[in-house]
Structure 1
Amino acid sequence: MEQSIPDTVPGHLPAAEARGSWDPRGPYSLSGTLAVLQRGSADPCVQVGRYEAWLCFSTTEGPVTLLLQRKGLQAGAGGASPVFISAWGPGAGAAVAGAPRLLGAGDDWSGFDERGFSASLPPLVTEARRRHPGLRLPSTGRMFDALLIAVLEQRVTTIEARFAWRYLAMNFGERPPGPVPQGMRLPPTPAAIRAVTPWQWHAARVDAQRSSSAVRAAAVAPALERWGSRPLGGLDPRNGIGVDAALASLPGIGLWTIAETLQRTHGSPDHVSVGDYHLAAFVGQALTGRRVDDARMLELLEPWSGHRQRVVRLLGLSGVKKQAFGPRLAPMDHRHR
């Protein structure tokens, strides 16, 4: 069973090495926006609460601990109050500069909310949008971190994936700089992932196929990171390919992994996690009352092309639950295989 990371940060925090703020200029939900970055309550690298979030990661300038806070009555009501940004560590300046993008500053819902487009949406989606006007899609820009987690989540249960991520972060991630909730870590670096032994992968309950994909991604991490700051539609001038093709060129990286990565690194409003064990059945049930496969799910979402991920996110916030059939998958221990 997962254990939450206890909040043992001192009540009076030391002065941040870099500070800033970002005004969303409208309704904004800090927790609703950033929750997609946290892998369970015991995630060692991301802790998101209603009014504040702690993130530990590395930048081109070095590691950083980032604290994002909303204060006051307007924050509690989801109103237009600023997000206060504090950072510690060598990467503090870079993290503060990139925080608005992380918080969803570049996520534009105007086309989705346009009257004609909105009228085409199912009532279930428009009602969820009305109840969650502060939702934004975050953009971390950190390709390797997101890709590594997506690889760990391939073809296994959520419990197994979160166990693997916590194991790797706690055993191979360094301690973050500055004040931080007890037990938090920096994500393991590409060099650290390349150094993980077969036995350690087994202890993390990660099979050979996923571990091989993770190591291959670590080997090309510098090239991956260059895509983090490029727009989704941009092409590499050297070879004319886009980020989708760049990711797909890696063995073991398919459509599901690409979508899960770009939803977080670029705030993709359209990438759908095709191949997900539950998603097609859920979308089908929400939109038609019955389960469907991936092909049919894409047909159902096609009228909202360009915003399909927004539709999926709002369906997830609608309160609809997929009917559960059959036993749960049991966690697997690969150490004795």
Structure 2
Amino acid sequence: MTGRRDERLDTDFAPGRPVPLRAIIGSLRRGAGDPTWLQTGEGIWRACVTPEGPVSMLLRVDRTGVGDRVVARAHGPGSSWMLARLPSLLGADDPAHEFVPHHDVIAEAFAQQRDWRLGRTGLVIDALVPAIIEQRVTGKQAFGGYRMLVRRFGSPAPGPAADLGLRTPPSADGWAKIPSWEWLRAGVDAQRADTIMRAMRVAHALEKCADLPREEAWKRLRSVPGIGVWTTAEVAQRALGDADAVSFGDYHVAKDIGYALTGRPVDDLQLAELLKPYAGHRYRVQYLVNAAGLNRPRRGPRLSLPTHLPSRM
């Protein structure tokens, strides 16, 4: 049974350690103007669509003597579903204790980020649609298109943050009903829009990936034409909490990790070899390189390059 749109529920999560909230959930934000994300004096609001309906959730951190306590307040029919998964969202399922750094720079970065955990939302479509929109374009282009579509076809979020502009994205049915010309208007070409339409036709099966073994989940996601290694990894990082989901095919990732670990950029094949000792935690290395600012220096004027390579979608 789903709850009422005006329903409010509260809970908290106290793992006995500091919780860097923004770092843990920051990858869920799609650009500075993401309508599903709002930071206020109360904390961080996020809106999404769960299997039980839309929800908005406010998260704030209370500092205690034995670690942080994350206080959560949720509004809408999806409140119970979302709050039941709060520990997972904040990384309770992340096997960070199993990680063994094999490079000094990674060991140092891991020590600096010792309280970071990889969370999982359990919401595949929530992660999949923006990931497809981000294929073969710059982040600025992708974020602008997603922002336009959510503002136009999403809904005011349940609860008081709707008055501040917080919106839920469309449901799978809502995405499927967007006309072709509206995708083009948002800067999403026919190839990416068609991929989203194919995915929405099997959205129910794709959402079940959150409960499948890793290999089966990856296979199911990649069975949709237009969804390849890069897109699957982006979904797996957010929805499945997959610490091994390195973003092969990204324009920067291989070059940056290669530079951090060897002093020179590498390609995807070289990256796969370089990361073999980190099997099971390859995405964690990717995160640590970025979080520690170990990326290769950018030289020359900024170019309008895609964020990842078209052959690896």
TM over 0.5, shorter chain:
yes
2:52 corresponds to 1:70? no
Asked whether the 8 Å contact 2:7–2:77 carries over to 1, the reply is no
Structure 2 residue 281 is matched with structure 1 residue 307: yes
- Structure 2: how far apart are the matches of 1:57 and 1:32? 19
- 1:101 maps to a residue whose letter is S
Residue 33 of structure 2 corresponds to residue 42 of structure 1: yes
The C-alpha deviation readout for 1:106-132, integer Å capped at 9, x for no partner, is: 1121111xxxx34xx212111111112
- Cα distance between partner residues in 2 of 1:49 and 1:318: 26
1:292 is aligned to 2:279 = no
Q: Secondary structure at the match of 2:199?
A: helix
Tell me, yes or no, if the aligned pair for 1:159 and 1:331 is still in contact at 8 Å. no
Instruction: Tell whether the 8 Å contact from 2:257 to 2:295 is kept in structure 1 after alignment.
Output: no
Match for 1:192: what amino acid?
G
Counterpart in the other structure of 1:129: 110
Work out which of the residue numbers 237, 240, 253 in structure 2 matches 1:266: 240
- Structure 1 unpaired stretches of 5+: 1-14, 234-241, 333-337
Structure 1 partner of 2:51: 60
Distance 1:50 1:224, change over 3 A: farther
1:153-204 CA-partner distances (Å, limit 9, x unpaired) = 1110010110111011111111111011622210111122212122211111
Structure 1 residue 330, shift from structure 2 partner: 4.1
Provide TM-score, normalisation by structure 2.
0.90
Question: After the TM superposition, which residues 48-127 of structure 1 pair with which residues of structure 2 at under 5 Å, given as runs?
Answer: 52-72=43-63, 80-112=67-99, 117-118=100-101, 121-127=102-108
Partner Cα distance (1:150, 1:98) in 2: 22
In structure 1, distance between residues paired with 2:235 and 2:148? 20
CA contact (8 A) 1:30 1:50 kept: no
- Which stretch shifts more, 282-291 or 224-233? 224-233
The one-letter amino acid paired with 1:80 is: G
Post-superposition offset of 1:48: 5.5
Instruction: Choose the corresponding residue for 2:131, options 150, 163, 181.
Output: 150
Measure, in 1, the Cα distance between the counterparts of 2:277 and 2:295.
Answer: 23
Equivalent residue number for residue 3 of structure 2: none
Quick check: 91-100 or 46-55, which moved more? 46-55
Partners in 1 of 2:300 and 2:92 — Cα distance? 42
Is the Cα contact below 8 Å between 1:269 and 1:310 reproduced in 2?
yes
1:283 equivalent in alignment to 2:257: yes
Deviation at residue 321 of structure 1 after TM alignment: 3.1
**Distance in structure 2 (CA, Å) of the matches to 1:51 and 1:173:** 24
TM superposition shift of 1:16: 6.9
Contact 1:57 1:64 in 2 (8 A): yes
Gaps of 5+ in 2: 1-5, 307-313
**Structure 2 residue aligned with 1:238:** none
Give the 3-state SS of the residue equivalent to 1:82 in structure 2: strand
Structure with greater strand percent: 2
What's the RMSD between the two structures over aligned residues? 2.1
Cα distance in 1 between the residues matched to 2:237 and 2:42: 23
Identify if the C-alpha distance between structure 1 residues 132 and 301 changes in structure 2 by more than 3 Å, giving closer, same or farther.
same
Checking the alignment, whether the CA contact within 8 Å between 2:13 and 2:87 is kept in structure 1 is yes
**TM-score of the superposed pair, with normalisation by structure 1:** 0.84
Contact 1:31 1:49 in 2 (8 A): no
1:263 shift after superposition? 0.4
Distance apart, 1:266 and its partner CA: 1.1
- What is the aligned length? 300
- Paired AA for residue 61 in structure 2: R
Counterpart of 2:106, as a letter, is V
The answer for the alignment partner of 1:174 in structure 2 is 155
SS in 1 for 2:111: helix
Q: CA deviation at 1:228?
A: 1.8
AA aligned to 1:224 is L
Mark the CA change 1:136 to 1:58 in structure 2 (over 3 Å): closer, same or farther: same
Shift of 1:142: 0.5
Which residue in the other structure is 1:212 paired with? 194
Please identify, of 243-252 and 102-111, the stretch whose mean Cα deviation from structure 2 is larger: 102-111
What letter is aligned with 2:55?
A: V
Structure 2 contact 247–253 (Cα < 8 Å) conserved: yes
Aligned residues: percent identity? 39
SS of residue matched to 1:106: coil
Segment of structure 1 superposing worse, 174-183 or 296-305: 174-183
- Describe the SS at the equivalent of 2:34: coil
What residue in structure 1 maps to residue 170 of structure 2? 188
